[in-house]
Structure 1
Amino acid sequence: MIKGLYETHVQVSNLENAITFYTKVLGLKLAHRDGTRPIAFLWVGEGKEFMLGLWEQKENLQTRHFAFTSTTEDILKYSVEFLENKDLQPYNFLKDGSVQPMVFAWMPALAIYFNDPDGNQLEFISILEGDGKPELGVLSYEEWMKQTQEI
């Protein structure tokens, strides 16, 4: 029955600002804005593949986490520059001050994080080839490549 995850929703403090961020900064496309409630829906990807819902919440805002699928090449070569050019602060899972993408060895997957204006934790992620190696934990891509080539 389940073939994937189609949509997710996040709370935002200001719908107008959130629409601007997700469309102008990240490049998503506005799909629909509900005229009766402070809600907007955005297309993620091409051909209505995925959807992101933005729900304005003025009080008790609860931040969430979700990840955008990306390619390994884009994450390694362009993600940090892309984010910094948009005045967004990239960070890795370890939050150790480095802006270099990290590998979750159990999956394995390469990822880099950043926040939206409301503090929702966003991520660019790419599944890497090969089997997971949970014993390696979270490590740099360079270390992942070294570890997996030695095996």
Structure 2
Amino acid sequence: MITGLYETHVQVSNLENAIRFYTEILGLKLAHRDETRPIAFLWIGEGKEFMLGLWEQKENLQTRHFAFTSTKEDILNYAVDFLKNKDLEPYNFLKDGSVQPMVFAWMPALAIYFNDPDGNQLEFISILEGDSKPGLGVLSYEEWINFQ
């Protein structure tokens, strides 16, 4: 019955700034802006595959976390520079000061994090081939490769 997650929604403090961030910085496409309320919908990917809803919330903003699907190669070779070139601060799951992408061995998946202007925690993630190894926890990609 369920074949995927189509959309998610986040609260933002300023809809105009959020639209600019997600379209101009991250490259999402504006799908629809509701002129009767402070809400906008953005396409993620090609062919209306996924949607992100932005809801302006002036008080009691509740930040969220969600991940964008990416490729292993893009995360390893481009993600950190892409984020830095957009004046975004990449960080890993351990928040240990490193910008090195990390592997969640229980999945396994490779990921790097960053925040939007409102503090929503965003992630680029790629599912890796191979069997999960939950006992390894969270480790660097190089360490993961050594266990393969």
Q: TM-score, normalised by structure 2?
A: 1.00
CA distance in structure 2 between the partners assigned to 1:33 and 1:113 by the alignment: 27
Aligned partner letter, 1:147: F
1:48 is matched with: 48
1:110 is matched with: 110
CA distance in structure 2 between the partners assigned to 1:92 and 1:147 by the alignment: 20
2:24 is matched with: 24
2:124 is matched with: 124
- For residues 1-150 of structure 1, what are the structure 2 equivalents within 5 Å? 1-148=1-148
Which ranges of 4 or more aligned residues in structure 1 deviate by more than 2 Å? none
CA distance in structure 2 between the partners assigned to 1:112 and 1:74 by the alignment: 11
CA distance in structure 2 between the partners assigned to 1:64 and 1:132 by the alignment: 26
Q: CA deviation digits over 1:30-61, x for unaligned, max 9?
A: 00000100000000000000000000000000
Q: CA deviation digits over 1:113-151, x for unaligned, max 9?
A: 000000000000000001100000000000000112xxx
CA distance in structure 1 between the partners assigned to 2:133 and 2:146 by the alignment: 13
Q: Post-superposition shift, 1:99?
A: 0.1
Q: TM-score, normalised by structure 1?
A: 0.98
Aligned partner letter, 1:68: F
Give the secondary structure class of the aligned counterpart of 1:32: strand
CA distance in structure 2 between the partners assigned to 1:10 and 1:116 by the alignment: 11
Q: CA deviation digits over 1:19-40, x for unaligned, max 9?
A: 0000000000000000100000
The runs of 5 or more residues in structure 2 that have no matched partner are none
CA distance in structure 2 between the partners assigned to 1:147 and 1:96 by the alignment: 22
Identity value in percent: 88
Q: Post-superposition shift, 1:12?
A: 0.0
The runs of 5 or more residues in structure 1 that have no matched partner are none
